[in-house]
Amino acid sequence: MNITVIGTGYVGLVTGACFSKMGNKVYCVDIDESKIEGLKKGILPIFEPHLATMVKNGQEKGDLIFTTQIKEALYETDIIFIAVGTPMASDGSANLDYIFSAATDIAENISHDSLVVIKSTVPIGTGFKVKEHIERILQDNNSNVKIDIASNPEFLKEGRAIEDCMHPDRVVIGAEKDEIFDILKDLYSSFVLNHDRFVLMDIKSSEMTKYVANAMLATKISFMNEIANICEVTGANVQQVRLGIGSDRRIGYDFIYAGCGYGGSCFPKDVQALINTAQNAGYEPMILSNVEKVNAKQKKVLVNKVVDRFGSDLNGRTFGIWGLSFKPGTDDVREATSQVVITSLIDKGAKIKAYDPEAINEFKKAIDDKYLDSIEFVDNRYSAADECDGLILITEWKEFRNPDFELLGNKLNEKVIFDGRNIYDKKIIKKGFELFQIGC
């Protein structure tokens, strides 16, 4: 098939690369000329394992084309995917400016009947509004072109997005016509050869499914973090509690790890957007509202532990930071706990030595410039411990899981570790370390 993907952000780039891998001819369109020129040279705007190789191979075969010229990309297209960003607006709703800008570009440049598929995460009812928007412009331009609309939300996990795209556990399709389901099932058939993983529904339900999936996962995280805090004040151990409840098949082990809060581009904005949607419809979502409150509080747990150990005046103190990205396997620092921890410690007078295998450059862009003079970024994990008063683990990259504790102990001024992801065994206490964890 000939496919056009509008937007070369995280979703659009991964989706386009994977479609091209399956033999489709894919045009990836973006208005950012510098980004497109970089992609043509193999310079990716994001870090995602295996994506650079896939992009390079797709371009070499001529199956993956990057362009700013949407008219060229739409000329022979069979399916148009909208995969632009929907950032959080000031009121917590999803900002749909990029969605409708893409819809306008489609309407003004399409020359034949087409299927428009919204892959971006959008509020319930957006698909129909986009269709009306395109049809209104086509009518104003006296065009006879007809378009159909569908919803096909993405369920990519940063750090393993290629695997999720190539081997999806489900493909959700929202449409109003059987023939639309057939077209998209044909496109995805090569991704689900071993068994049928299609989940077919109406457009509004498809749009809602994406929000509910992220809200449910965020709820599990905040629930377990609240349980961890209760464990801590009552003397229970959340790690043991996790094993006790995870063995129940109705609960399972996924997303019930206690930690220092979730971040990223999806969970925070999607939970807020769903809250906003519910409130606009006259319903107050009490659980979801508190999911966000618990998470905001959880991001400060490590700071509170540092203050409990060293006092509120941290002048003259330096702390090593392991991990800046919101999760391992990505350079994404949006809504990352590291930003809260580092700025809070600096505000209390501390200096920081920070290490992350991928996210340092993105962190420098994201953090307020006034904090940069108080942060030394280093190029290996052990340098982040040099002459520091304590080590704070925020992101559980694999290289942090089994470090040389003897070397760490020699580098640190005080053998103190704040383990924000509960990855260390308490046996290290026998090595002379003070270990502070979440709910343990």
Known catalytic residues?
A: 266
**Cα separation, 195 vs 179, whole angstroms:** 21
- Going by C-alpha positions, the residue among 119, 122, 36, 22 that lies closest to residue 73 is 36
Instruction: Give the E-state strand segments of 285-401 in sequence order.
Output: 318-322, 351-355, 375-377, 390-393
- Per the structure block, which two tokens stand in for 274? 């769903």
Extract long-range pairs of 309-314: CB within 8 Å, 24+ residues apart: 309/390, 309/416, 309/434, 309/436, 310/389, 310/390, 312/348, 313/348, 313/349, 314/345, 314/348, 314/349, 314/350
SS3 143: coil
Measure Cα distances from 25 to 12, 64, 116, 336 in Å: 14, 6, 17, 36
DSSP state of 110: -
**Cα separation, 35 vs 84, whole angstroms:** 14
DSSP state of 125: T
